[in-house]
């Protein structure tokens, strides 16, 4: 199958998932609820106030995480890089943990205090990584990677410290937050808050696909072919980190999508970023929407954290792809 | 016309001086070989010429304009670079890889132009790599891969090609093929070539001029015949080398010393 066809199939699959997902769930909702014709007004509310915003959020989050994963894997030439490698999620988790520990419950412009603290934490970690990299002079990705990992560990132990010091309920809330999930994100306000970050981040990454191809071949070769390495890497770093920060602030650190979506798409469409990046965007969004739909239905009325589903479903799928395509890669 | 000019260029890595007060010029269409013992600063020099290393003192001019004034893409249209073989696994096909050489002419969302396709096809043709255009780079032998790297540099359309040890890790056949290829590019396409090499014989037979570095300084700069004198070579390499006359062209070349009889 050629690459355009693969993209078309992914697009169709993503569209199907997005159209069907809002109508799946505990309560039956007829299609007509879309335009406000339903026997029971709660059906309209469930569709428009709960399910559609949640599907939108899952789509944005999946797209952002998968795209950022692709950007980081290209930038660090490391197949194990994830959107969280540079400590964005640890920063966000620390912010959320501080807010939970303090027991502050407030909201600004309908964003919860925890989300705002988490976003601030993510920004702090991004600025720290950037500052440390600059302090050592230049834009070495090795320094960036080490700074990110060090900050990650540092923040993680601060989180453990807070968990240890908090009472039982708060500790549980912190633990639950770190698992990630979309059950907290149920209004269009969050969707609209995250959208600008994800949209601009994705556009920037799409704009830099040629550069990502060249960076995969090595820094020197890329520079000699005309890539302004320092600037390109910095722009990629900020674009990817900001959208991940925004998503994590609302959904918590949802694992697996950012690591595996790029690999799965590489097996489907190859390593050329001009095709890989759009494929990853479609796949990541659709995959997380699918997983989230399962997360809220498999053991309804209880929800599973979506991070459990992403890995349970994605892991075997990835292994199957890897084994069935052995000859080509 | 002078395409590369270095004026008392020095470069240090931390406290260690790597290049000291290097000055020379390269004319358009010239084939310049840079030789010297290990650690003399050859690779550093060639990386400074393509601004892969920055921060030296002194002046480097490319086509009459200071190196630092070029944007990265402008520079890439003038100079291309073939790195030392490092065995890095690159996940692309030969054609995709060569097409990446067209980066300085591409704009972000546009499709590959007719002109780009033509340049890639020409580069593949000239280097004899068209037959494995669809193969993954990782499946090629060292010699084939070196030719693909040269093809990518050609597709870049630059008038100066810098090469770092283009033949060092190749077998005899591929050495000959790559050498012939470089000669062809040099003569037919009028490309200026600056090649770092360990192989003095190769430098003498192929190049128009040789620059020899020793401990970061220019120890010799001149035509190939003049470097092939025992006293000059001893000064550069710190060891005596055995010279014989090449049977075909009459130039002096180096042959390995036979071990002393007593050691047998």
Chain A contact set for B109 (CB, 8 A): 206-207
Interval B18-59: pLDDT, tens: 999 999 999 999 999 999 998 899 999 999 999 998 888 999
Q: What is the mean pLDDT of residues A178-202?
A: 86
Q: What is the mean pLDDT of residues A160-178?
A: 86
Q: What is the mean pLDDT of residues A155-168?
A: 88
Q: How many CB pairs under 8 A join A and B?
A: 69
Report CB contact under 8 Å: B104, A218: no
pLDDT score of A326: 54
Is position A34 within any domain?
A: yes
- Tell me the shortest Cα–Cα distance from A152 to chain B, in angstroms: 29
Is position A310 within any domain?
A: yes
Report CB contact under 8 Å: A225, B156: yes
Q: What is the mean pLDDT of residues B202-228?
A: 91
Chain B contact set for A227 (CB, 8 A): 72, 103
pLDDT score of A68: 94
For residue A40, pLDDT over 90 is answered with: no
Interval A232-284: pLDDT, tens: 988 998 999 889 988 988 888 888 898 889 988 988 898 899 999 999 999 99
In the 3-class helix/strand/coil scheme, how is chain A assigned residue by residue?
Answer: CCHHHHHHHHHHHHHHHHHHHHHCCCCCCCHHHHHCCCCCHHHHHHHHHHHHHHHHHHHHHHHHHHHHHHHHHHHCCCCCCCCCCCCHHHHHHHHHHHHHHHCCCCEECCEEHHHHHHHHHHHHHHHHHHHHHHHCCCCCHHHHHHHHHHHHHHHHHHHHHHHHHCCHHHHHHHHHHHHCCCCCCCCHHHHHHHHHHHHHHHHHHHHCHHHHHHHHCCHHHHHHCCCCHHHHHHHHHHHHHHHHHHHHHHHCCCCCHHHHHHHHHHHHHCCCHHHHHHHHHHHHHHHHHHHHHHHHHCCCCCCCCHHHHHHHHHHHHHHHHHHHCCCCC
Q: Find the domain containing B125 and state its range.
A: 2-263
Binning pLDDT at 50, 70 and 90, where does residue B263 land? low
Q: What is the mean pLDDT of residues A42-66?
A: 89
Q: Can you tell me the ipTM of this complex?
A: 0.88
Total tally of structural domains belonging to chain A: 1
Residue A203, chain B, CB below 8 Å: the answer is no
Total tally of structural domains belonging to chain B: 1
- Give the residue with greater pLDDT, B110 vs A13: A13
Is position A329 within any domain?
A: no
Q: Find the domain containing A109 and state its range.
A: 3-324
pLDDT score of B21: 92
Chain B contact set for A329 (CB, 8 A): 91
Is position A32 within any domain?
A: yes
Looking at chain A from residue 224 to 243, which residues have their Cβ under 8 Å from any Cβ of chain B? 224-229
B193: CATH: 3.40.50.300
Q: Which of A50-59, B216-225, B242-251 has the lowest mean pLDDT?
A: B242-251
Report CB contact under 8 Å: A220, B47: yes
Interval B109-118: pLDDT, tens: 777 888 889 9
A99: CATH: 1.10.3470.10
For residue B180, pLDDT over 70 is answered with: yes
């Amino acid at each position: 199958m050629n690459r355009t066809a693969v993209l078309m199939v992914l697009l169709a699959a993503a569209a199907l998932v997005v159209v069907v997902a809002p109508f799946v769930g505990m309560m039956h909702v007829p299609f007509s609820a879309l335009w406000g014709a339903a026997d029971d007004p709660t059906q309209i509310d469930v569709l428009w106030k709960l399910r559609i915003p949640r599907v939108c959020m899952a789509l944005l989050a999946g797209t952002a995480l998968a795209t950022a994963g692709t950007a980081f894997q290209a930038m660090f030439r490391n197949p194990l890089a994830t959107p969280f490698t540079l400590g964005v999620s640890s920063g966000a988790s620390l912010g959320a943990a501080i807010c939970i520990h303090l027991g502050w419950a407030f909201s600004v412009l309908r964003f919860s205090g925890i989300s705002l603290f988490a976003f601030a934490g993510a920004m702090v970690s991004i600025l720290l990584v950037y500052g440390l990299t600059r302090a050592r002079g230049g834009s070495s990705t090795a320094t960036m990677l080490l700074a990110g990992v060090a900050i990650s560990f540092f923040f993680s132990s601060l989180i453990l410290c807070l968990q240890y010091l908090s009472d039982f309920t708060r500790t549980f809330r912190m633990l639950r937050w770190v698992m990630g999930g979309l059950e907290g994100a149920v209004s269009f306000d969050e969707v609209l808050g995250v959208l600008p970050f994800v949209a601009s981040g994705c556009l920037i990454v799409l704009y830099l696909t040629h550069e990502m191809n060249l960076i995969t071949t090595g820094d020197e070769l890329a520079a000699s072919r005309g890539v302004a390495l320092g600037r390109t890497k910095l722009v990629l770093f900020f674009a990817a980190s900001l959208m991940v920060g925004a998503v994590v602030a609302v959904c918590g650190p949802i694992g697996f999508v950012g690591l595996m979506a790029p690999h799965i798409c590489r097996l489907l469409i190859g390593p050329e970023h001009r095709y890989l990046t759009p494929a990853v965007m479609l796949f990541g969004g659709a995959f997380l929407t699918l997983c989230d739909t399962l997360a809220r239905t498999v053991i309804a009325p209880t929800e599973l954290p979506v991070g459990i589903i992403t890995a349970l479903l994605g892991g075997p799928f990835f292994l199957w792809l890897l084994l069935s395509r052995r000859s080509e890669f | 016309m002078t395409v590369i000019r270095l004026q008392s260029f020095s470069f240090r890595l931390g406290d260690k001086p790597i290049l000291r007060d290097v000055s020379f010029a390269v004319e358009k269409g010239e084939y310049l070989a840079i030789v010297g013992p290990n650690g003399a600063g050859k690779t550093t020099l060639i990386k400074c010429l393509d601004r892969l290393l920055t921060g030296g003192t002194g002046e480097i001019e490319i086509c009459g304009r200071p190196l630092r004034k070029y944007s990265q893409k402008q520079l890439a249209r003038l100079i291309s670079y073939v790195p030392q073989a490092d065995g890095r696994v690159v996940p692309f096909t030969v054609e995709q890889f060569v097409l990446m050489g067209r980066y300085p002419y591409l704009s972000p969302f546009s499709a590959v132009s007719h002109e780009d396709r033509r340049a890639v096809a020409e580069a593949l043709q000239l280097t004899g790599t068209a037959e494995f255009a669809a193969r993954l780079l990782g499946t090629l032998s060292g010699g084939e891969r070196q030719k693909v790297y040269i093809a990518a540099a050609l597709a870049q359309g630059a008038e100066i090609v810098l090469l770092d040890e283009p033949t060092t890790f190749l077998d005899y056949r591929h050495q000959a093929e790559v050498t012939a290829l470089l000669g062809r590019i040099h003569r037919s396409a009028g490309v200026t070539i600056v090649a770092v090499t360990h192989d003095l014989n190769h430098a003498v037979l192929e190049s128009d001029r040789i620059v020899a570095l020793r401990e970061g300084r220019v120890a010799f700069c001149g035509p190939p015949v003049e470097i092939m004198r025992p006293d000059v070579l001893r000064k550069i390499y710190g060891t005596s080398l055995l010279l014989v006359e090449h049977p075909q062209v009459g130039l002096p070349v180096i042959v390995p010393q036979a071990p002393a009889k007593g050691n047998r």
